Amino acid sequence: MATVTFEHVFKRYGDVTAVNDLSLEIQDEEFLVLVGPSGCGKTTALRMIAGLEDVSAGELKIGDRVVNNLAPKDRDVAMVFQSYALYPHMSVFDNMAFGLKLRKMPKAEIDKRVREAAATIELTNLLDRKPKQLSGGQRQRVALGRAIVREPAVFLMDEPLSNLDAKLRVQTRAEIARLHQRLRTTVVYVTHDQVEAMTMGDRIAVMNFGVLQQVGSPQELYQHPVNKFVAGFIGSPAMNFINVTPKTEDGTLKVVGEGFELPVPDSLKSAVENAATELTAGVRPEHFEIMNGAAPGAGAHVRATCDVVEFLGNEELLHLRVGQHDLVAVVDAAFRVKPGDVVEMFVPIDKIALFDSADGKALR
């Protein structure tokens, strides 16, 4: 069992700063997901924990021990790679046993650990097979099994599901979550997929261009993103952004944009008054409500023209146009909106985020 702590960690490759001043404390037994677009430094951060990359500056700790200069084999971590990297000529059993044999573990202990791990992830019937006789999902389980038998203090996983088809990905996602509940080991899990991050993580750390943007529970990131990047990255379909400017009308402070008007909530009044004039309002697709008569309370009014309707069963996904903006709304399919319809929509005031357009920071 162990914590993992980054303290002002940098990783530079020549001119490229792959990880830029990362400070992050991963708790014991936590499932932490490191998420962000391709090239943002996720793999580099993970490889530094594994000891496969040197730390350029700062301090990296596992438990209380600074590991900057500790050899990978002495770190008590196990890594599962995106490419499973199984030995093709070895059986499943031997693939799982290989690392333990290298460590000169007694044969009986190896046998016990491999069989226990195989039972945990349902590989018992496949132990004699070679990797080429396995499906993609089964190979992925062998790669997991090889990490499990090590009984490491920390599991590191780098996009372990990305080579699986959509259905298997959902299944294996749940399997890994169950495995974590059973083993109660610290897991650092890297993915570019925000759905994986939201569904698997106890906490999520969002990175962009090597810089940590925000760390928090899935709910915190969804409800209180610190900036436009996190707001747009977390959530599917993505948050809508509308350019707005502050305006006082009849003594009421509002933000207005094309087809959009919102009385500023009291909690944000001073932030709006102090902010630059260019603001961005953020609305999640699922928070639009089609108006049916009077507005149900305080909130934003949006008047948009429907472009395309995607029927999803119980819901409809509407592509709408408001001036220069394309918006996406998810509404109850009972409304039967048609292309060309002008739709009056409402967004409850507590569901709207406001950002400073210049630096992207959320107004608080």
Query: What residue ranges bind Mg ion (CB under 5 A)?
Result: 43
Of the candidates 1, 16, 308, 312, which one interacts with ligand ADP according to CB under 6 A?
16
Of the candidates 22, 24, 42, 331, which one interacts with ligand ADP according to CB under 6 A?
42
Q: Residue 81, interface with ligand ADP (CB under 6 A)?
A: no
Based on CB atoms, which residue is closest to Mg ion, 34 or 100?
34
Based on CB atoms, which residue is closest to Mg ion, 5 or 43?
43
Q: Residue 9, interface with ligand ADP (CB under 6 A)?
A: no
Distances (CA, A) of 199 to 102, 186, 219, 239: 36, 17, 11, 18
User: b/e string for 235-270 if b means 16 or more Cβ within 10 A?
Assistant: beeebbbbbbebeeeeeebbbbbebbbbbbeeebee
Q: Residue 43, interface with ligand ADP (CB under 6 A)?
A: yes
Distances (CA, A) of 40 to 16, 17, 151, 358, 363: 11, 10, 30, 22, 25
Q: Looking at 13-21, 119-127, 233-241, 300-308, which segment touches ligand ADP (CB under 6 A)?
A: 13-21
Q: Looking at 33-41, 193-201, 255-263, 340-348, which segment touches ligand ADP (CB under 6 A)?
A: 33-41
Residue nearest to Mg ion (CB): 43
What lies within 8 Å, CB to CB, of 30 at 6+ separation is: 186, 187, 202, 203
Of 154, 145, 56, residue with least CA distance to 95: 145
Based on CB atoms, which residue is closest to ligand ADP, 209 or 335?
209
CB of 41 to ligand ADP, least distance (A): 4
Q: Residue 191, interface with ligand ADP (CB under 6 A)?
A: no
Q: Looking at 1-9, 24-32, 40-48, 107-115, which segment touches ligand ADP (CB under 6 A)?
A: 40-48
Instruction: Return the SS3 of 359.
Output: coil
Cβ atoms of 133 and 92 closer than 8 Å: no
Instruction: Return the SS3 of 142.
Output: helix
Partner in contact with 5, chosen from ligand ADP, Mg ion, none, beta carbon below 5 to 8 Å by kind? none
Length reported for the chain: 364
Task: Estimate to the nearest angstrom the gap between the alpha carbon of 265 and the chain centroid.
Answer: 29
Q: Looking at 12-20, 91-99, 107-115, 215-223, which segment touches ligand ADP (CB under 6 A)?
A: 12-20
Of 144, 172, 9, 10, residue with least CA distance to 79: 144
Residues making contact with ligand ADP (CB under 6 A): 13, 16, 18, 36, 38-44
